[in-house]
Amino acid sequence: MSAVEDCGGVAAPVVAWEDGATRRAFLGDGASASLHHPFGGRERIFVPPWRIEGAFPGFTRRAPLMGEHTDAVLAALHSCPTPKMRSSDPGPVTYDRPRDLPHESRTHMSELTFRAFQATEPKKPAELVHLSAEDLPAGDLLVKVTHSSLNYKDGLAILGRPGVVRTFPLICGIDLAGEVVDDAHGFAAGDNVILTGSGLSETRPGGYSQYQRIMADHVVATPSKLGPWGAMAIGTAGLTAMLSILRLEAAGLTPDRGPVLVTGATGGVGTFAVSTLARLGYEVHASTGKEDEHAYLASLGATTIVPREKLTGEPRALDRQQWAACVDCVGGVVLANVLARMDYSGVVAACGLAGGPTLPATVMPFILRNVSLLGVDSVNAPLELRRQAWDRLDDLYSLTTLKQVAVDATLEDLPRLSEQILRGQIRGRVVVTMSNP
């Protein structure tokens, strides 16, 4: 507070830490941020209770440690004159004239308006609205969003179905790709970045917005070959598929172990699981209930089609061994049947629940056939794992290939496409292109 007051500002404590840490009003709506402290690890801090140019200020560094009140720390206060201090003289600090804000883009942020798809209240479809800079949350990076994608969870959020959006109002969209507006957190203005999951459209405003302010914890530089469009053609679905394959490989899976099954094979994750496994040299068996999609799955690299009804009957404790591994996008009774049919020491990566969250299985596959069931989470995957997955995807796919499995859409198309994806009428991927102001 003394530093702010020395700069001519007025400073005073607004809320006790105990209140801020326990009252939901201070934990939501961008009122706090999670930053890394060198001694305490991940810590939660609170946004200053004022706005600059209509928006909450972002965070450029952690709070200083004891004794770190140096020239650099004081100079980081953009509205504060640059101090001159003599190390041999602990006396008063003197100042040069005030300096300008470092990013000229801030001068127009207060006038910025943009479109976004926002969920305003529970059980009500999201609406296409016009917002301004002051509607953006606190965060590390301001991004001009160029592309997003459509996933099953997005369909639920857009149509007001429960289970995704946890706070209101909230911008929908679990993926985004775009350009960094201001230098921050190791990124320069103009850098292309992507962010998938990480609470977008759940607890943080998401990617169906022409501008968004995001936390930097899980942000990845856009893969050079894929670019923003290609990255969103892959999106959370392709990332989840690759994370599932990485889990299987870490458990010892190699192409010579035998066939790999993919359930829910015509969905977003399933499509990329089939294609990616085939590109890596695996024999891929694809399960679907859509007879008219058999040729499509074969074009992706599937050698055998497993009708869905063969996996939806009453599960046995153990059944005939058929597969070395499986990427399961369905869950429920399908997963129970898959577990019963895995080879000895087979491994299953479970990454979806389109067939329901329950698992009517027994422990027999685990204790008699040494089968492993591995969970895959793409929402909170660590940054280094994300980078590894995106590097592999950038090596495996080209824009030409992705254009065969992805179609373009706009914000206006989202309600119609959301209905279709929830009815299982969309195969492959949908890339949502923003028309920026």
Domain map of the chain by residue range?
2-95, 109-225+399-433, 235-375
Give the C-alpha separation, 223 to 207, whole Å: 18
Give 235-375's CATH code, choosing from 3.40.50.720, 3.40.190.10, 3.40.50.300, 3.40.50.150. 3.40.50.720
| Structure letter (DSSP) for residue 78 | T
Contacts made by residues 417-421, CB under 8 angstroms, sequence distance 24+: 417/150, 417/155, 418/150, 418/154, 418/155, 418/156, 418/158, 418/159, 419/155, 419/159, 421/150, 421/151, 421/152, 421/154, 421/155
What residues contact 157, with CB distance under 8 A and at least 6 apart? 119, 126, 164, 165, 172, 173, 201
Grouping H, G, I as helix, E, B as strand and the rest as coil, residue 287 is strand
pLDDT 10s digits, 12-55: 555 554 455 444 444 444 555 555 554 445 555 665 555 555 55
Residue with tokens 């004081």: 74
Question: According to the model, what pLDDT value does residue 428 have?
Answer: 78
pLDDT 10s digits, 98-122: 333 334 444 456 678 999 999 999 9
Dump strand ranges (E) for 215-310: 220-221, 260-262, 284-288, 302-307
Helix axes 227-250, 268-279, angle to 10 degrees: 70
Sheet architecture: strand order including 170-171: 127-132, 113-119, 170-171
Q: For residue 169, is the peptide bond before it cis, meaning its omega torsion is within 30 degrees of 0?
A: yes
Question: According to the model, what pLDDT value does residue 404 have?
Answer: 85
Tell me if 390 sits within 8 A of 344, measured CB to CB: no
Tell me if the pTM is above 0.85: no
Question: According to the model, what pLDDT value does residue 199 have?
Answer: 95
Give the C-alpha separation, 321 to 341, whole Å: 5
Which among 298, 307, 289, 310 is positioned nearest to 271, based on CA atoms? 298
The second-level CATH assignment, the architecture, of 109-225+399-433 is Alpha-Beta Complex (3.90)
**Single-letter amino acid code for the residue at 190:** G
Q: Which residues of 274-311 are buried (b: 16+ CB within 10 A; e: fewer)?
A: bbbbbbbebbbbbbbebeebeebbeebbbeebbebeeb
**Which residue stretches of the chain have pLDDT < 70?**
1-110, 436-437
pLDDT 10s digits, 190-235: 999 999 999 999 999 999 999 999 999 999 999 999 999 999 999 9
Give the C-alpha separation, 185 to 215, whole Å: 10
